[in-house]
């Protein structure tokens, strides 16, 4: 894969809680220089300090996913008002562990309804789930009409993306949804392996290093 092709699959991400406006400006500069698909930021960093030529994504219910459905829906509505192109929402992992997949579908649908015209990615924290839970969660995501399933926040102690999780997620969603791999992707070799496994988007905070090592 060519460098520019991989760059166009990257959401260049800065979600550190201590990030400053200066850091966000640097993120925008680097994204534009590298030619990434988008930047992904925290809701409090919107509106961005300046316009950008790349797409803009923001997180919702981040990082725990333990927010109420109403809170996630309201946050999605606010993000839409700020003009984001994409939303990456975290599901309620407790509900997954309780096998309440109807609840998962309901919360995703609430965010979908609050942000009908943006790309919606659903973060499932695959490293914290069994294969059976991943399959059921991906099916709930499809039913709720989201656009992507996403492996990880990058903040969970269980870990980030894996080849196995991406392959499994792709096998469930087929060509209907995108698959975004994120969390722990720090070199070009792993990034390209994830693409080969079925990822159609990557969430990276170290985009330059990854692109320099493919």
CA dist., res. 146 & res. 172, Å (int)? 14
Other beta carbons within 10 Å of 129: 20
For residue 56, the Cα-to-chain-centroid distance in whole angstroms is 12
CA dist., res. 214 & res. 201, Å (int)? 16
The structural domains of the chain, with segments of one domain joined by +, span 3-212
Cα radius of gyration (the chain): 16
> Angle at which helices 131-143 and 101-114 pack, to 10 degrees?
40
> Angle at which helices 188-197 and 163-173 pack, to 10 degrees?
30
Report the catalytic residues. Answer: 88, 150, 180
Q: What share of the chain is helix, strand, coil (3-state, %, to 5)?
A: 45, 15, 35
Q: What is the pLDDT of residue 1?
A: 85
CA angle 201, 205, 64 (to 5 degrees): 80
Residue spans of the chain under pLDDT 70: none
Q: Which CATH architecture has domain 3-212?
A: Alpha-Beta Barrel (3.20)
Phi/psi for 167 (5° steps) reads -60, -45
CA angle 171, 187, 214 (to 5 degrees): 90
Contact assessment for residue 29 and residue 53, using Cβ atoms and an 8 Å cutoff: no
Q: What residues form DSSP beta bridges with 181?
A: 202
Other beta carbons within 10 Å of 29: 12
User: What confidence tens digit (pLDDT) does each residue in 87-96 have?
Assistant: 999 999 999 9
Q: What is the pLDDT of residue 109?
A: 98
CA dist., res. 152 & res. 202, Å (int)? 11
Helix, strand or coil, per DSSP, at residue 179: strand
Nearest to 14 by CA among 70, 77, 58: 58
Q: What is the pLDDT of residue 157?
A: 96
User: What confidence tens digit (pLDDT) does each residue in 50-92 have?
Assistant: 999 999 999 999 999 999 999 999 999 999 999 999 999 999 9
């Amino acid at each position: 894969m060519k460098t520019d092709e991989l760059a166009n699959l990257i959401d260049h991400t800065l979600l550190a809680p201590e990030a400053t406006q200066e850091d966000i400006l640097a993120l925008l500069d680097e994204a534009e220089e590298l030619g990434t698909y988008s930047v992904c930021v925290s809701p409090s960093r919107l509106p961005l300090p300046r316009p950008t030529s790349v797409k803009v994504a923001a997180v919702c219910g981040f990082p725990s996913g333990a927010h109420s459905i109403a809170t996630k829906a309201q946050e999605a509505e606010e993000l839409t008002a700020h003009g984001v192109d994409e939303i990456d929402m975290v599901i309620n992992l407790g509900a997954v562990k309780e096998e309440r997949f109807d609840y998962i579908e309901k919360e995703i649908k609430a965010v979908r309804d609050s942000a009908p015209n943006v790309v919606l990615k659903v973060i499932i924290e695959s490293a914290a789930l069994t294969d059976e839970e991943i399959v059921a969660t991906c099916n709930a995501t499809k039913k709720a009409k989201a656009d992507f399933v996403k492996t990880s926040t990058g903040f969970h102690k269980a870990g980030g993306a894996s080849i196995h999780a991406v392959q499994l997620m792709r096998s469930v969603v087929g060509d209907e949804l995108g698959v975004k791999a994120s969390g722990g992707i720090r070199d070009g070799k792993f990034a390209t392996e994830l693409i080969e496994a079925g990822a159609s988007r990557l969430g990276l905070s170290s985009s330059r290093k990854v692109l320099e090592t493919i």
